[in-house]
């Protein structure tokens, strides 16, 4: 293997990048655009649920119950209804996600110690949001019931006794319970996987379309030298993308980086070797740049987005899909990133995931080298 030939080929790739300024800017700008879009638009925190009130009782007691919703950050009262048709119309048009219906006689039932039914009608077209909203509403109803029982006990002249069970919650690693803190580290893995595979998937196919591939074949360069020479420039671009993504996540979105940055850099380097090798393999396999980009999206972006555990828990997937996730390198990278960012652990804790990434990089690198050999020699 000749370092001089690798250096010459690497220089040639950098010159091509410099000539194609738009592609280079896109490779640097798209990760930032994606992290801004996903970082601000994608949030699993559910608050300010648009709520409509249909109070048929209109008493101080019913208004006191409504104030519990107003004081909660989870509900926002958007309108009041005077007729049942207004409730239906608000839910159908999406103006409200939940409608609270307080029937007449609500205050009288509470005063007499009878059950006072309250109806909550939810828009189930978004089942996940509706499920969380119903849980929030059930908690507020339970809190109101406890307050009523305390009032009755005091009115009876009895003394409140302490509850025997005292629950003390401590939330580790993400005490603010911000979904952004675990979405952005996982999003970094998805972006790196998609961009790096897409960049390298166009290299050899572009050479083939422009007719310069034959010139490379006629040179004494070996397949290994060609693989390394084409990979190094995009490895540099990938590392720049990594710095941009991590910088945006930490300084703009406020995601804590509690772990070691050298550990993050090392594991990202291993991950980039594997993803760039896969992109080069696709580039040799595809006959056109269009075909290469489509293969990159199908084999890199979609699996890493859906099957890496970035958003959707792997444990909730069918057994067949859970088995497939072991073939997705982003799965291991996402686990390591969350551990470094949020838990501040060192790489020895995640040695199985690091080993899996090393194995993936080794196998795909050899697969790409063999494919180059088959095509060039």
Cα→Cα distances 178→43, 130, 254, 271, 311, Å: 9, 19, 10, 27, 14
Round to whole Å and give the CA distance between 48 and 74: 5
pLDDT of residue 33: 85
User: What is the distance between the alpha carbons of residues 214 and 166, in angstroms, rounded to a whole number?
Assistant: 76
Pairing verdict, β 49-55 and 119-122 = unpaired
CB-based contact 192:271 (threshold 8 Å): yes
Q: How far apart are CA 362 and CA 110, in angstroms?
A: 70
CA-based torsion, 120, 123, 124, 126: positive or negative: negative
Question: What digits encode the pLDDT tens for the residues 19-41?
Answer: 777 777 777 888 888 888 877 77
**Architecture of the domain made up of 49-155:** 3-Layer(aba) Sandwich (3.40)
Q: What is the mean pLDDT of the chain?
A: 83
Domain spans of the chain, in order of start: 3-43+178-376, 49-155
Structure confidence at residue 374 (pLDDT): 44
Q: What whole-number percentage of the chain has pLDDT above 70? A: 90
Rounded distance between C-alpha atoms, residue 296 and residue 248, angstroms: 25
Buried b (16+ CB within 10 A) or exposed e, 319-344: eeeeeebeebbbbbbbbbbbbbbbbe
Task: With beta carbons less than 8 A apart as the criterion, state whether 277 and 203 touch.
Answer: no
Q: How far apart are CA 342 and CA 286, in angstroms?
A: 39
> What mean pLDDT is predicted for residues 279-297?
83
pTM to 2 decimal places: 0.78
Residue 318 pLDDT exceeds 80: yes
Token pair of 305 as six digits: 């987005």
Average pLDDT over residues 356-374: 84
Split at pLDDT 50, 70, 90, the class of 45 is low
Confidence of residue 267 (pLDDT cuts 50, 70, 90): very high
Average pLDDT over residues 56-79: 86
**Average confidence (pLDDT) over 84-103:** 88
Residue 118 to residue 69: CA distance in whole angstroms: 13
Determine the angle formed by the axes of helices 3-19 and 21-41, rounding to 10 degrees.
70
Residue 377 pLDDT: 43
**pLDDT over 70 at 229, yes or no:** yes
Q: What is d(CA 123, CA 272) in angstroms, rounded to the nearest whole number?
A: 44
pLDDT at 358 over 90: yes
DSSP string, 234-288: HHHHHHHHHHHHHHIIIIIS-----S-HHHHHHHHHHHHHHHHHHHHHHHHH-SS
CA distances from 302 to 130, 295, 297, 323 (A): 27, 11, 6, 16
CA distance 249 to 219: 44
User: How far is Cα 304 from Cα 334, in angstroms, rounded to an integer?
Assistant: 9
Closest alpha carbon to 187 in 276, 309, 269: 309
pLDDT of residue 225: 78
Rounded alpha-carbon distances, angstroms, from residue 119 to 98, 141, 209, 316, 347: 10, 11, 66, 31, 52
Q: What backbone phi and psi angles, to 5 degrees, belong to 98?
A: -135, 140
Which residues in 70-109 are b (16+ Cβ under 10 Å) and which e?
A: eebebbebeeebeeeebbeebbeeeebbbbbbbeeebbeb
Q: What is the pLDDT of residues 143-186, one digit of tens each?
A: 888 788 777 777 777 666 666 666 677 778 887 777 788 888 88
Q: List the alpha helices (DSSP H) in 20-126.
A: 21-41, 60-71, 84-92, 106-111
Nearest Cα residue to 200 out of 279, 269, 290? 279
CA atoms of 271 and 274, how far apart (whole Å): 5
């Amino acid at each position: 293997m000749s370092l001089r030939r690798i250096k010459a080929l690497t220089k040639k790739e950098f010159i091509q990048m410099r000539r194609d300024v738009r592609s280079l800017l896109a490779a640097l700008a798209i990760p930032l655009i994606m992290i801004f879009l996903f970082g601000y638009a994608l949030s699993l925190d559910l608050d300010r649920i648009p709520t409509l009130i249909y109070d048929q009782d209109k008493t101080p007691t019913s208004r006191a119950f409504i104030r519990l919703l107003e004081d909660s950050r989870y509900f926002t009262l958007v309108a009041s209804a005077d007729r049942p048709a207004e409730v239906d119309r608000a839910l159908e048009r999406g103006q409200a996600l939940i409608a609270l219906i307080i029937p007449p006689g609500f205050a009288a039932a509470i005063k007499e110690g009878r059950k006072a039914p309250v109806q909550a009608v939810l828009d189930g077209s978004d089942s996940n949001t509706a499920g969380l909203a119903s849980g929030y509403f059930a908690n507020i109803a339970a809190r109101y019931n406890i307050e009523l029982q305390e009032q009755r006990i005091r009115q009876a002249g009895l003394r409140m006794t302490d509850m025997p069970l005292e629950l003390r919650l401590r939330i580790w690693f993400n005490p603010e319970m911000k979904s952004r803190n675990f979405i952005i580290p996982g999003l970094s893995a998805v972006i790196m996987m998609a961009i790096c595979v897409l960049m390298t998937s166009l290299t050899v196919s572009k050479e083939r379309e422009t007719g310069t591939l034959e010139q490379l074949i006629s040179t004494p360069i070996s397949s290994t030298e060609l693989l390394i020479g084409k990979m190094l420039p995009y490895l540099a671009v990938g590392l720049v993308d990594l710095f941009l993504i991590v910088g945006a996540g930490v300084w703009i979105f406020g995601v804590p980086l509690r772990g070691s940055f050298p550990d993050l850099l090392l594991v990202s380097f291993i991950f980039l070797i594997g993803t760039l090798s896969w992109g080069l393999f696709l580039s040799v396999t595809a006959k056109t740049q269009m075909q290469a980009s489509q293969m990159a999206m199908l084999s890199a972006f979609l699996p890493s987005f859906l099957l890496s555990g970035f958003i959707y828990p792997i444990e909730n997937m069918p057994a067949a899909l859970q088995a497939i996730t072991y073939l997705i390198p982003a799965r291991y990278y996402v686990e390591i990133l969350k551990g470094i960012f949020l838990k501040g652990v060192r790489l020895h804790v995640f040695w199985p995931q690091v080993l899996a990434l090393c194995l993936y990089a080794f196998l795909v690198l050899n697969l790409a080298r063999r494919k180059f050999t088959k095509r060039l020699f």
